[in-house]
Amino acid sequence: MSLSDVSKRLLLGRKLRSTQLGETLLPKRIALPVFASDALSSVAYAPDEILLTLSLAGLAAYAYSWKIALLVAVVMLVVVASYRQNVRAYPSGGGDYEVATVNLGPNAGLTVASALLVDYVLTVAVSISSGVQNAKSVFPFIDGHEGWVAAIAALLLMALNLRGVRESGTFFAIPTYCFMVGILGMVGYGLFRILVLDQNVQAHSAQYGIEPDPRFAAFNGFLMVALLARAFSSGCAALTGVEAISNGVPAFRKPKSRNAATTLLLLGTISVTMLIGVITLANLTNLKLIDLGHSYYTLNGQRVDVLEETAIGQLARAVFYDNFRPGFYFVIAATMIILFLAANTAFNGFPVLGSILARDGYLPRQLHTRGDRLAYSNGILVLAFFAIVLILAFKADVTALIQLYVVGVFVSFTVSQLGMMRHWTRLLKTEHRPEVRGRMIRSRMINAVGLTMTGTVLVIVLLSKFAQGAYIAIIAMAVLFVIMKLIRRHYDAVAQETALVEGEDRMLPSRVRAIVLVSKLHKPTARALAFAKAARPSTLEALTVDVDPDETARLKKVWEEMGIDIPLKVVASPYREVTNPILDYVKNVRSESPRDVVTVYIPEYVVGHWWEQILHNQSALRLKGRLLFTPGVMVTSVPYLLSSSDKAERRMRRDDVPDVRRSLHR
């Protein structure tokens, strides 16, 4: 086994057969952290974004934080209830894309797909960047290097996901549950100290005032509505990730739909509880956050510079630091890790959706196939690449990235709910059993409420975030939509062009004319001549290019001395070219009789090292590439194995031999 193979096996683990796919299916206890970690982890930054936005209007606007949090919670519960209908009706894993395509047409499906693909990339970028920001509470040296730290974290997460859904899910389960225990424990203990023990628990930022952004100093009228809408749309980041469960239904154990619906209910209940708990505790401890560069901390009426901590960091310090310091470190560590791992939702959703789109011909076919570990490896690599580009471009700035966020997911929410309305309406036309009709009508009502709610939120998000950066996400969705349409058009054109029509491409050629390319007379050439002769063509000749007259003369002399019974044709090349003279000769042979087939035999070295490939076969590769574009010409490579190829062959044989010992011990 080569060094690269050893490294791959250490990184990814042993290969899995296709028949082992059932072993990778997830129980609910593992599916929750795998598919819901994004929505759960948003508790670590959604409250921050609400408070940061409200800080633009000063302390007076903070009175609306709990109302906005309640509204976000209501939207989440409605969306969860709506998606429970989706996973029951469409358990194949297509999710919003399948719902929209089946009920509203392919353009609606592509709109949803482009929105989700962009949002998955943003999920990775935002989650990891937020994790880096939280890590600064414990590791201040990260300050100024956030982008590169986040990029490295994305690479590590990519490597974990390449090992497969089940294995990475088991790894992610412990941090996700630790985060839930940490946040709920912090909220519960903090409320107990404040409400029961009547202790004065205050966040570090409670001592400061806030100087608002001059644009929002007059917090009334249209400005108030605009700012509250912007804060609400930022808080709706808590809903991202809900759709991933509908895309991941095939990864659940049977009964798949019921287990996915139960996981959705757990997700909604836990997320809402944590979000409301954090906002409530933030209000009781007088926690403040500022949007640096727009609003400022003040002390005794003067601006002060303060090392900014996240809401979770401040709350954990206020609740635990003086009474139970391990609790502080536990919450910070769990939050930091879950934010890094929250991107796992996208690493499971993006490759599955990409595979379905590739199957339908809208993305390159390579995204449809599973890798060694039965994960969609190519999709994972593509997602990691674009997420890292985004992280480095925005220097892991969560506040900047969050403006691009949410738009895509609410586009998919809204179109999906409209599709579900059409789905139930169509089924009701043919269903006559009263009990079944009752369930369908109830489901349609749930989706109708979901459509109204998500459509309203989408309008708010577009109006409040468009100028702040949401237009970038919209442009990316539009570009991706056009690219997918062009890819589908290409695949359709190729399928039409290559479709087998009765009577076409079945007639035998009149003759087969074989040409063996010769540069010098040696073993590879002799093998190519023997191979061509064994194929019994109608005519056979050898062809060499006269680049060096002396070399050509020696070749002709040796040819005659060896008594080779195949005629040697010499083509002149006054400009010492090789490729074009051969191409011209082959085309002339072909034009003499269009019904003939010309087969060109090219001797090639088979080498065992990558650097040897650079030293050999370059002319052959160029010729092959040009000849393949010539109609009626077939190219046959005749391999000659050099001694260095023996080691490579033995390595490949070892890789192909099954592990008998492992089989015996199963």
The pLDDT of residue 516: 94
With a cut of 60, say whether residue 375 has pLDDT above it: no
The pLDDT of residue 8: 46
Identify whether 255 is preceded by a cis peptide bond (ω within 30 of 0): yes
Mean pLDDT check: name the lowest of 60-69, 285-294, 421-430: 285-294
With a cut of 60, say whether residue 258 has pLDDT above it: yes
Whether residue 176 contacts residue 32, with contact meaning beta carbons closer than 8 Å, is answered with yes
pLDDT per residue as tens digits for the range 413-456: 899 889 999 999 998 988 888 888 998 899 899 989 989 988 88
* Angle at alpha carbon of residue 637, lines to 636 and 643, rounded to 5°: 160
- By the 10 Å C-beta count (0-12 exposed, 13-18 middle, 19+ buried), 275 is classed as buried
Q: Indicate the pLDDT class of residue 663, thresholds 50, 70 and 90.
A: very low
The pLDDT of residue 488: 92
Domains observed in the chain: 27-396 (1.20.1740.10), 512-660 (3.40.50.620)
Question: Which residues are registered as beta bridge partners of 601?
Answer: 516, 636
Q: Residue written as tokens 């080691």?
A: 647
Structure tokens at 651: 């390595």
pLDDT per residue as tens digits for the range 512-555: 899 999 988 888 899 999 999 999 999 999 999 988 888 899 99
With a cut of 60, say whether residue 140 has pLDDT above it: yes
Most confident of 21-25, 175-179, 400-404: 175-179
With a cut of 70, say whether residue 655 has pLDDT above it: no
- CA 56, CA 24: separation in Å to the nearest integer? 48
Structure tokens at 157: 């997460």
pLDDT per residue as tens digits for the range 148-206: 888 888 888 888 777 654 445 566 688 888 999 999 999 999 999 999 999 999 998 88
Provide the b/e sequence for 101-121 (b: ≥16 CB within 10 Å): bbbbeeebbbbbbbbbbbbbb
Q: Indicate the pLDDT class of residue 570, thresholds 50, 70 and 90.
A: very high
Residue/partner pairs of 18-22 with CB below 8 Å, 24 or more apart:
18/370, 18/374, 20/374, 21/374
Query: Other CB atoms closer than 10 Å to residue 486's CB: what's the count?
Result: 11
The pLDDT of residue 319: 93
Mean pLDDT for all residues in the chain: 81
- CA 133, CA 156: separation in Å to the nearest integer? 18
The pLDDT of residue 238: 78
Give strand ranges (E) for 547-590: 568-572
Higher pLDDT, 134 or 453: 453
Query: Other CB atoms closer than 10 Å to residue 271's CB: what's the count?
Result: 27
Instruction: Tell me which amino acid residue 13 is.
Output: G
- State what percent of residues in the chain have pLDDT above 90: 21
Mean pLDDT check: name the lowest of 85-94, 179-188, 351-360, 485-494: 85-94
The pLDDT of residue 19: 42
